[in-house]
Every structure is written in C-alpha cells, then in structure tokens.
Chains A and B, each alone.
Chain A
C-alpha cells in the first residue's frame, strides 16, 4: 500500500512520463541540434559548429525584424482587445433582455480554428471579389485593395483580425468578472457621491485585477506565438513586414532549409517564453489564490 507521500506522485506519473518523452526530450534535443549545422536532406550527418548558429542570430536582420513585428503585434492586439473588451463588458453588464442569445452568438469566434479564421479573412478581404471591397464601395471608398500589400497597413490588418477573433473571448471573461463583483462597495461609493468613472477606476479596476491578469497572460502568450494567420494571409509579407517569430522559424527551417539556424531561433524563443511565463505566473499564482479564497 503506497503511503501518503508517494500516492500523489503515482497519480501524476502518467502525465510526467508523457510530458518528459514528448516535450522534455525534444527540448533537450533542440538545444543539441541548435549546435549543429544540418539540413533535412542531410539528417544523420549533422556537423558540430558550437555556438555558431546563435552567433549568426545576432547579425540576422530577419530575426530582429521578426522580433519587432511579433512584440508590436502582441502589444497592439492585446491593448486593443483589453480596452475595447472593457468598454463592451461594462456596457453589457446591464439587465439586457436576450443576453443569453447574444452570448451564444459571441461564442462562435472563440471556437474557430486559426486556420479557418485566416482562410475566411483571406477571402473576405480579397481585393477583386471580397466582401470588404463590396462593403467599402457601398460607403464610397474605392482604394481598399492596397491594404494587404502595403507594408504599413498589413500588420494592422493582422492585428485587426486578431482583435476580431479574440474580442469575444476577452469580453466574455471580463463580463463574468464584473458580474462576480460584490455590490456593497459600489453602493457605499454612490452614497458618498462618487461619480461613475470614479467607482470604475477606484473600485472596479482594483477588484478585477486578478481577472485582468489572467486575460492578459493568456492573450499575450497566444499572440506571441501567432503563425497561422501570417502563413495563410501574408506569408510574412509584403517584404518582411508581417514575419512573426513562429513564421520565421518555419521559413528558415523548411523553406530556406537552414535547420540549425531555425532550431537556434526556436530555442531562444522558448527560453524567452519560459522566462516570461515564470514571471507572469508568479504574479498569476498569487492572484489566483486570492480569487479562490
């Protein structure tokens, strides 16, 4: 009979084995492969090059461009989603008839595959036959076709699609947070003559901090890894203006066939994400235990 100290570990053994084999081992393998010069065609005859792949990254302009785009994309998309999501959640936090119906409608985008989102918008934005062209013509705007081929506009198109896709997610969660707030502090504030913007900034926001943090962590992490939208809609272009880090790894490895380089980028990306997660979860863990108690 296992004792109380080993029992929980017995329950966790299958997960730990699965994760060590399918996540842990490839991570170690990745660090090893990033020290070699290798290609798909020459698997089995990798050449050891030490840190050369990492040193090359420093001068790799494509990489710095991708880092810039990825950070910009995540930051812009998440800011837009949180600001608009807050506004929408506040508006919807009223006794609205038919809320269940609206809620059901808003679930649809949450369930979509990123590939389905990309394909849908690719057609929707098509300059010749797309619905967007059609809609804009109705409003008398005819020069739409330049969006996806303009260096300055293409990133914003992707950010807009990300916002379209994730706004329901953010709104639904913030709304759930708002609904769970106790009414007493608001009543007290009203009696004391606080204006509504004052109760928002001094009561709602501080109380919702944990919820915001959860939304922020999930959204930032998912936005930083964007690949499918880029792959389907822009292939990193025009120029390299929308080449996300995930897309760059794919392109470097499977298109340019520089597997060693691509693995090095992947490992650097992984380390960055793990550090970011460690910092954010420290915050998050505290917040979650606060929510739970």
Chain B
C-alpha cells in the first residue's frame, strides 16, 4: 500500500470516528429525555440513567400530559392545544403576507428595494426581550393579554421578515418569462402570481412554512410575557415554569419536553433538502 493511499484511509477512518462521536454527543441528551419520559420515578432515581426502561416502561407520564390535570388544575394537553392554535394561525398569516412581499422584492426593480430588504432583515435581528416590555404594554392597553390573538399577531410580525427573505430567494429562481406568457394569455399580475409562480414555488413554500413552524412552536419570550393563564399559555412557558418548582417529576417534564421536541424534529426531517437555505434565510445554497 502506498503512503498516499494509507494517508487517505487514515483520514477516512478518523472521519468516521469523529462523526460517530459527534453524533453520540449530540444525540445523548435528547435520547436521555425520551427514555426518561417512559420511566417511573423509581427507575429515574434508582436505575441507570442511560438504560432504556425495557419491561418497566410506563406511559403514566404521558397519561399525565394528555389526561390528568397539571399543577394549575388544567390539563397539559390544553397548553399543547394553545401552541398548536397559535402556530397554525401564525404560519397561515406569515406565509401569505410574507410571500406577497417577497414577490414584490424579487420581481420588480424599484427604488428603495435593497433598503426595504435590509429593513426587513433588521427586524429579524431584533432581540425579543429588547422590545418585550413595550410590546407587553401595547398588548395590555389593547386588553389582549392572555389571548391567542396577541401571540398570533406578534409571532406573525416577527416571523414575516424571515419568510420574506427565504421566499425571495426561491422566487428569484423561478423565471419571470413564465408569468409573462401567462399575462399575454390574459392573466393579471395577481392571477399570474397565483396560478403560475405559486405552484412552481411549492417546495420552497413548504420549506419556509416548516421553518415558520419551528419559530412559532419553539418561541418562549413573547409567550412568557403576554400570557399568564392557561387560556393562551403555550407549552414552552409551561415547561420553563414547571422546572422551577416541580423538580420531583422528572418523568412528567421529560414527557412534555418529548411532546415539544418530536413534532419539531419530524418536521425538519422532511425539509432536509432546503435546510441550508432555510437556516441561512436563503443566503447560502446547497
């Protein structure tokens, strides 16, 4: 075996070793949460932390999540319902509003185009907590605290810039000539956009919607400021609150965490193809 080939083999072996170690380190805490959610307290505090519960596995923690009442006298499932309502409505609003703006930015060369794109980008960078108090003040004056509506409105506004930037990238890849021919055939701008461009952008729309899902589903700061009752509180607020005083019930909290994690992981799995574009707001392509 030549020295060069040996070096290549060695590099490959090292690569395998490193990637397996990397994956183990990244997956270990997640694996631990999931198996802990199937354990009884006896197993959690007495057994091996990394061993699956096997025959002693229990669904009690999930029964608590979906049936019994939580600390505030309200079923955990109702927090999940709030998360679901807020996330779904946010996706619907941001996708419509954001895609329209992205189209305006991608298809037309007008004055102030790059300035607008940059203004949208600045909003993406604004830390939620920096504007959290005035947003709270505004929502309170409108008497919208503890409503789904307030969260939907705030999430939609803060996620729209993300949709604009990502969809702009996808729309710029669709040739404008197709629309032009549709317009020659008698469509107006909006019809051409709806019947020609939107279907072609379908994969991009799906990918963008997935990232919007993650943004809304995982959000904590605005939810913690704008909701304080189970009427509209989301799952992230529930977990963050429970950990401070409900430390005994690791299994239950692990079950809630698992319910929060699983849809997110499943969703992003489907978007693997557009992952890079989504993560970088369209700036880097695979």
A250, B133: Cα distance in complex, Å? 8
A249-288 CB mask vs B (1 if < 8 Å, else 0) is: 1100110000100110011011001101110010011001
A254, B161: Cα distance in complex, Å? 28
Q: For B1, list chain A residues within 8 Å (CB).
A: none
A15 close to chain B: CB less than 8 A: yes
Q: Could you tell me if B158 and A23 are in contact, using CB atoms closer than 8 angstroms?
A: yes
Q: Could you tell me if A8 and B131 are in contact, using CB atoms closer than 8 angstroms?
A: no
Q: Which residue of A lies closest to B15 (CB)?
A: A91
A107 close to chain B: CB less than 8 A: yes
Q: Could you tell me if A173 and B132 are in contact, using CB atoms closer than 8 angstroms?
A: no
Interface stretch, picked from A54-62, A98-106, A143-151, A181-189, is A98-106
Q: Could you tell me if A168 and B26 are in contact, using CB atoms closer than 8 angstroms?
A: yes
Given A11-B104, A91-B19, the answer on whether A134 and B131 have CB atoms closer than 8 Å is: no
A142 close to chain B: CB less than 8 A: no
A4, B114: Cα distance in complex, Å? 17
Q: Could you tell me if B127 and A224 are in contact, using CB atoms closer than 8 angstroms?
A: yes
Given A115-B218, A177-B284, A218-B280, the answer on whether A14 and B130 have CB atoms closer than 8 Å is: no
A112, B261: Cα distance in complex, Å? 6
Determine which of A120, A124, A131, A266 lies in contact with B133 in the assembled complex, contact meaning CB atoms within 8 Å. A266
A168, B272: Cα distance in complex, Å? 13
Q: Could you tell me if B239 and A115 are in contact, using CB atoms closer than 8 angstroms?
A: yes
A180, B280: Cα distance in complex, Å? 15
Count B interface residues, CB 8 Å. Answer: 98
Q: Could you tell me if B98 and A232 are in contact, using CB atoms closer than 8 angstroms?
A: no
Residue with the highest number of chain A CB atoms closer than 10 Å, among B19, B121, B158, B225: B19
Q: Which residue of B lies closest to A247 (CB)?
A: B129
B205 close to chain A: CB less than 8 A: no
A213, B78: Cα distance in complex, Å? 42
B92 close to chain A: CB less than 8 A: no
A172 close to chain B: CB less than 8 A: yes
B184 close to chain A: CB less than 8 A: no
A231 close to chain B: CB less than 8 A: yes
Count A interface residues, CB 8 Å. Answer: 102
Q: Could you tell me if A43 and B272 are in contact, using CB atoms closer than 8 angstroms?
A: no
Q: Could you tell me if B137 and A33 are in contact, using CB atoms closer than 8 angstroms?
A: yes
Q: Could you tell me if A120 and B134 are in contact, using CB atoms closer than 8 angstroms?
A: no
B54 close to chain A: CB less than 8 A: no
B269 close to chain A: CB less than 8 A: yes
Q: For B129, list chain A residues within 8 Å (CB).
A: 225, 227, 245-247, 249-250, 266, 269
Q: For A112, list chain B residues within 8 Å (CB).
A: 30, 218, 261, 264-265
A27, B107: Cα distance in complex, Å? 30
Q: For A14, list chain B residues within 8 Å (CB).
A: 96-97, 100-101
A141 close to chain B: CB less than 8 A: no
Q: Could you tell me if B239 and A274 are in contact, using CB atoms closer than 8 angstroms?
A: no
Q: Could you tell me if A277 and B131 are in contact, using CB atoms closer than 8 angstroms?
A: no
A75 CB to closest chain B CB (Å) equals 17
Q: Could you tell me if A173 and B118 are in contact, using CB atoms closer than 8 angstroms?
A: no
Given A92-B15, A92-B19, A123-B36, the answer on whether A115 and B131 have CB atoms closer than 8 Å is: no
B-side interface residues toward A, CB under 8 Å?
Answer: 11-12, 14-16, 18-19, 22-23, 25-30, 32-33, 36, 44-45, 48-50, 96-98, 100-101, 103-105, 107-108, 110, 113-114, 116, 118, 120-123, 125-135, 137-138, 140, 153-154, 156-158, 160-161, 164, 172, 189, 214, 217-221, 225, 236, 239-240, 243, 250, 253-254, 257, 260-261, 264-265, 267-269, 272, 275-276, 279-281, 283-286
Given contacts A4-B110, A95-B12, 15 further A-B contacts (CB under 8 A): A15-B160, A19-B123, A23-B157, A91-B19, A107-B269, A116-B236, A129-B49, A131-B32, A180-B285, A211-B284, A218-B279, A225-B129, A276-B125, A277-B122, A277-B125
Can you pick out 20 interface pairs between chain A and chain B where the beta carbons lie within 8 Å of each other?
Answer: A4-B110, A18-B156, A18-B157, A23-B123, A30-B133, A91-B14, A104-B272, A111-B214, A111-B265, A113-B217, A116-B33, A172-B275, A172-B276, A177-B284, A228-B221, A246-B130, A263-B134, A273-B127, A281-B121, A291-B285
